[in-house]
Amino acid sequence: MKKIKAVHSLIPILVFLLIWEVVTRLELIPGHFFFPPFTVVIQEFYRLIANGVLIDNFLSSFFRVLIGLSAGSIAGITVGILLGYEQNLHKITHPILSLFYPIPALGWLPILMLWFGISEMLPIMIIFICSFFPVLYNTVTGIKGVNKDFIKAAQSLGASEWKVLTTVVIPLALPNIFTGLRLEAGMAWRVIIAAEMVAIPTGIGALLMKAESLMRVDIIIVCLMVLAVMCLSFERFFIYLEHKLTHKWRQYAQH
């Protein structure tokens, strides 16, 4: 059944690629120089892999996202749990966090360039900020949203504050925490590409900019395809993890 479902979702993609190929081969679009056929893009994809350009740039972006997203998520979850559970701390910090939260991650780029210069720290910090605030926000919402009756029940069964937190509050807040992680997993890739296009000479974003200056639309499309696959893969990874951890008890398991 799952296989049939997967084939069904592949059909629209295959149709799209076919139309792309036919339209560009028949030169139905004016200015077709800027819109190469799919097969040409695939040939360029193999060439970029073979000469190592794509892999080098991909790995640069990948490790930046991985480090920044992991650090930002861990920090966001930890601080979120603390603020969600300690009402007084949340009251004190809420006005400050409310001011920082709406700032788009790329808005931090100029100041981070001044602080860190053009170094590996710059993209990692951008991704950190990009992940930290939304994960924090969702974690706080999740922790605060846990029905107080569950806490009372756990306490009456002999659970200390720490046990209540680790065995009841955090597990019940997991769906909210995963919402934050899922959203930011894709967003981190979008932000890293933008940051690399503007300020960093390596990575998929930088490759995109170089391709633009050489008017290599095929390379641009290869980079965009890599970006799309990575955004989707990261989001899917968190959906899978959430499903594994919570689907047994959630009424409407998401997948």
Partner 1 sequence: MPNIRLKNINNFICHDINLEISDREFLVLWGPTGAGKTTLLNTIAGLIEYKGSVSFDGSPVDEFPVYQRKAGYLFQNLILFPHLNVRANIAYGLRVQGEPKSMVESRVNELLRLMRIEHLVYRYPRDLSGGEKQRVALARAIAPSPEIMLFDEPLNSLDFHTARYLRTEIHKLHKELGFTTIYVTHCFEEAFALADRVAVLKNGRIVRTGFPEDIFKEIDCKAIAENGFCDCHQGSRNSPAQIKLENSNILCHSRRG
Contact set with partner 1 (CB under 8 A) = 147, 149-150, 152-160, 163, 167-168, 171-172, 246, 248-249, 251
- 164 vs 192, which CB is nearer to partner 1? 164
Question: What DSSP element (H or E) covers 214?
Answer: none
- 216 vs 243, which CB is nearer to partner 1? 243
CB of 63 to partner 1, least distance (A): 34
- 3 vs 248, which CB is nearer to partner 1? 248
CB of 150 to partner 1, least distance (A): 6
CB of 85 to partner 1, least distance (A): 16
CB of 185 to partner 1, least distance (A): 23
Sign, CA dihedral 70-71-76-82, equals positive
Contact (CB, 8 A) for 84 and 148: no
Residues 6+ apart with CB under 8 A from 61: 189, 192, 193, 196, 203, 204, 205
- 169 vs 221, which CB is nearer to partner 1? 169
d(CA 140, CA 148): 15
- 18 vs 157, which CB is nearer to partner 1? 157
CB of 243 to partner 1, least distance (A): 14
Degrees, nearest 5: CA angle 215-221-227: 130
- What value does the CA radius of gyration of the chain take, rounded to a whole number of Å? 22
Taking the alpha carbons at both ends of the chain, their separation in whole angstroms is 15
Q: Where are the alpha helices (H) located in 26-147, listed in sequence order? A: 38-50, 53-85, 87-100, 109-116, 121-144
CB of 182 to partner 1, least distance (A): 19
- 105 vs 151, which CB is nearer to partner 1? 151
